Every structure is written in C-alpha cells, then in structure tokens.
Amino acid sequence: MNLALLSTQRLPVPAISGGAIQLYIQEIAPLLAEIYDITVVSPQHQELQDEEYSRKTRHIRLPATSTKEYITNIINIANDFDWIHIFNRPNWVNILSDNSKNTKFSISIHNDIDHPSWDADIVECINRSEFICTVSKFISGRISHKYPMAVPKLKTIYSGVNVKDYDISENNVRDTYGIKEDKVICYVGRLTKNKGVHILIKSMEKILDAHDACLLIVGSTDFGTNKNNKYVKKLKEMSNNINNAKFYYTGFIKPSDIPKFYTASDIFVCPSQHTEALARVHYEAMAAKLPIITTNVGGNAEIISNNGVAINDYKNPSAFSDQIIRLLDNEQLAKEMGVNGRRIVEEHHTWATVASNLHCTILETFT
C-alpha cells in the first residue's frame, strides 16, 4: 500500500524547526516503512531537499507560502497514494477526497477542536474518514461530545518518545549556563501566555526562600525563532524583580539537543493554562527520569500516576511552589517518580508502540 503521511503547512519534516506533529511523523515514518510504501509530505525548507529518500521513507516537500498553495500542490499528487493520513487538518479531507476518488483518508488530531480547521463541514469530513486518531482521551471526548457520529471512528493513540535519546553520559548544560550546585527546575516549550510560564516564575519567590534552586526556561516564542515579544519581556522583568533570582533563558533549541536540558534538570514543570490535548514534553521528561508537576487541564493529567502530580489550582503560583518544595524536600520521592515515569514510557509510549497502534488501526478498517 502507498501510504502518505501529510504534515501541516507550517513546518517541515524532519522537525529541524521543532513541532510535535513533525517529530511524530519523523519517528513513525521509518517504522511504518517496514510495512508500507511511505511518503511524507511536508512544506519546503531551505535546508532540505524538495524530494529525497531518508530512513526508508520518501519525502516530498512542497511550496507552502500559503495554505492554499500547499493544498493545491497536494491535490496534484494525491492520486498517487492509496491512503493519506492527514495530521491536524480535518477540513483537508473534503478538499482532497473531492479530487482523489480512489484514495482513502484518515486523520490524526493533536490539538483541541477550537482550531479554525474545524470550521468546515466537519460532519462530512468525519463521514469521509476511515478513522480519527487522537493523542488523548480528552480530545476523543471533546470530539464525541460535539460530533456523536464520530464515536465509532475514534481511536486514542498516545504519542511517544525515543527513550535512548535521554541516556546521556556526558552533559555540559550546567557548565554552559554557569549552574553550580543548585537544584534545576525545568520548563520546556514555547513562551506564550497560555503555557503559564509567568505563573511558574512567580512561584519561584517562595521556592527560593526555601532552597538553592534555579529555573531553566527552554524555548522561544515560536518554532525555530528567537524573536522577543511583549510577553517574553514581561517574563524577564518578573525574573529580574525576584530576590536571589536564578533564571536561565535558552531561546530556541534544536529538537535534537533538547534531551540534554532535561537530563541536566531535577524537576520538570508544565504550568499550562489552556486545554492542551496532551503536551509531548511530558513523555520527554519521563524518558529523562524527571518527576513531573503538571496541570489538570486538557489531557495532560492522563499519563500522570505515580510519576508526578497534576495540579487542580493551576492559576495559583503557590500551588506550584508547594509541590516543587515538597519534591525538593524529599529527594527519594522525586527519584521514585522519575523511575516510574521512565518505566511507563518504556512500556507504553515508545515510537514503536505508536507506529504499531496506527498500523493496527489501519488493519481494523478492513475487517
């Protein structure tokens, strides 16, 4: 079977500019290539060839200065495939199936359904799709509540991580940033208000009164860039106004370098304030054996059990500082949470598991 994995129009595959979806496709494509003839379709990028074979996978990278241009170019090649699996753009099903009558379509949903791509004739998109994968039960629930006819086609397939990337013997992150004996609290992600970084910074006031600790803030305002904006300036002002402040801003980090920032840390915190599907940073922190403090909003808490804490009062900085201090006070508990997290991802959240689950879902549509 000729199976195409269709990325969104913003970022290329492989994920040289970041992107959870792009990394997902990058990692499952060569595994699925053991079974299917796989083509990954993504936008052009100046550092990548427009067409190449890599890791048993054919890559086609198309002009995408606008969504319309990208879709038009995809229409021109859609008939080459028996099956197209579309990531995060359900409205593309109708557009492409109108032009490719013999091609089957399925969808992976990685965000909440407030995205503009859900403004189209979604009922028709659902009807034309063989199945709909979601990265969390939260998202499946959101879809089934609004579109009950989708229930038979919904399948939750959690994301994954390459655990070996986090087995790092040498790590120069602490030396690079001048971090000495402090305990390192780590945030990884984009610097936007809905990610809640300002709340985490505020929580550090109480933490620094109790412990020698620092906050390592890994990420930038957007994928692949280091542009500052009003929010980032506000974060840095907040940092400077805290007594004994120890804050380290890394800016954009290439995805391939991200693991060493986790493994240089002691605690991972995701202070997200909005209904995320289930941020993949959780899998990364678990692979690095870090205890997790996250928010009980959206799907983030679905993979939290004995590996961390999900905070209900997530708009309150003290709720974070109390849990962080609890783990800093109890190193054995923190270590046990980290070990538990690593075991969970090894058993349930490798890329091999993700690819196998997607393959089985494809097979189920034929029975």
Per-residue pLDDT of the chain in tens (367 residues, 90 and over written 9): 999 999 999 899 999 988 999 999 999 999 999 999 999 999 999 999 999 999 999 999 999 999 999 999 999 999 999 999 999 999 999 999 999 989 999 999 999 887 776 776 899 999 999 999 999 999 999 999 999 999 999 999 999 999 999 999 889 999 999 998 889 999 999 999 999 999 999 999 999 999 999 999 999 987 767 778 899 999 999 999 998 888 999 999 988 999 999 999 999 999 999 989 999 999 999 999 999 999 999 999 999 999 999 999 999 999 999 999 999 999 999 999 999 999 999 999 999 999 999 999 999 987 6
Q: Cα dist. 236→168, 189, 199, 231, 327 in Å?
A: 30, 16, 13, 9, 26
Q: pLDDT tens digits for 183-239? A: 999 999 999 999 999 999 999 999 999 999 999 999 998 776 777 889 999 999 999
Report the residue count for the chain.
367
Fold match flag (2-160+350-364 vs 163-348) = yes
Domain ranges of the chain: 2-160+350-364, 163-348
Q: Cα dist. 291→177, 266, 338, 349 in Å?
A: 22, 8, 5, 17
SS3 call for 33: coil
Tokens of 160: 């994954």
Q: Is residue 274 within 8 Å of residue 263, measured between CB atoms?
A: no
CA 154-286-172 angle, to 5 degrees, is 135
Helix intervals (H) in the chain: 20-32, 67-75, 92-99, 122-128, 137-146, 173-177, 197-210, 230-240, 258-263, 281-287, 317-329, 331-348, 351-364
What is the Cα–Cα distance from 148 to 145, expressed in whole angstroms? 6
Which residue reads 């990394």 in tokens? 23
Q: pLDDT tens digits for 144-160? A: 999 999 999 999 999 99
Instruction: Report the topology of domain 163-348.
Output: Rossmann fold (3.40.50)
What CATH class is the domain 2-160+350-364?
A: alpha beta
What are the phi and psi torsion angles at 184 (to 5°)?
-105, 120
What are the phi and psi torsion angles at 3 (to 5°)?
-115, 125
Across 225-261, b (16+ Cβ under 10 Å) vs e yields: eeeeeeebeebeebbeebeeebbbbbebeebeebbbb
Instruction: Give the DSSP letter of residue 350.
Output: B
Q: Is residue 258 within 8 Å of residue 250, measured between CB atoms?
A: no
